[in-house]
Amino acid sequence: IKMLLVPLVIGTGLTFLGIAGAPRLVLVLQMAMPPAFGTTLLAEAFNLDRELAVTAIGIGCVSLLFTIPLWMRLFNF
């Protein structure tokens, strides 16, 4: 959701607000970043599922290779 739906909604909303070009692309790319490594620190500090946190980070980093080119192609006009 974070790496697919959020950037799409933000990018579309910025387009309707009249923001285009580099500022829109920067905001979309920031929204498309994978979960931070701080997630594992929070999982460890609050005794949550550490394996799930590490898995989410791994999946996020791998999917970044596919989603960043998608967002650059969609919102770089």
Q: How far is CA 26 from CA 14, 49, 50, 59, 71, in A?
A: 11, 32, 31, 22, 10
18 band by pLDDT with thresholds 50, 70 and 90:
very high
User: Residue 35: what pLDDT?
Assistant: 79
User: Residue 10: what pLDDT?
Assistant: 93
3-state SS, one letter per residue, for the chain = CCCCHHHHHHHHHHHHCCCCCHHHHHHHHHHCCCCCCHHHHHHHHCCCCHHHHHHHHHHHHHHHHHHHHHHHHHHCC
Residue 13 above 80 pLDDT? yes
Residue 77 above 80 pLDDT? no
pLDDT, tens digit, 9 for 90 and up, residues 21-75: 999 999 999 989 887 878 888 899 999 999 999 998 999 899 999 999 999 999 9
